[in-house]
Amino acid sequence: MTGRTVIFQNPASGTSNHETRSRVRDLLAGDGDTVEEVIVNPGMTLLERASQVVKDGAKLVVAAGGDGTVREIASALVGTEATLGIVPLGTFNNLARSLNLPSDPDAAWQFCRRCSASMLSS
């Protein structure tokens, strides 16, 4: 992949531990793209922050969290050229399940990578 990638990590989502979140970040960084990690905190206006990273040139925006995190980030990407990646780390992950996305973070990232590479090259 080429371009800027931003990953929004929500430590309040689900029961995932720090090790899992670090692994997700390392997987993204291993692709050689410019990766920015945003740690979601309770005071953050996620919709505004996600909108800003797209305005600043992010080509791939990854939501690593639960359904609420994904919903807010997806809302910010509507009508843009940015690609949404989902690494389901929430409690229920209803959207990811509905889309038949892998529940394993490593497999979910590999799926995001394949799809985004295909979309970004077209």
Tokens for 116, please give them: 């985004």
CATH code: domain of residue 73: 3.40.50.10330
**Of 5-9, 26-30, 65-69, which gets the smallest average pLDDT?**
26-30
Contact indicator for 56, 48 with CB cutoff of 8 Å = no
pLDDT in the model for residue 30: 72
Q: How confident is the model over 95-114, as pLDDT tens digits?
A: 988 998 888 888 887 887 77
Secondary structure of 18-36 in HEC code, one letter for each residue: HHHHHHHHHHHHCCCCEEE
Q: How confident is the model over 45-90, as pLDDT tens digits?
A: 999 999 999 999 998 999 999 999 999 999 999 999 999 999 999 8
Please tell me the total count of domains within the chain. Answer: 1
pTM of the predicted structure, to 2 decimals: 0.84
Range of the domain at 44: 4-121
Query: What are the backbone angles phi and psi of residue 60, rounded to the nearest 5°?
Result: -130, 125
**Of 10-14, 72-76, 118-122, which gets the smallest average pLDDT?**
118-122
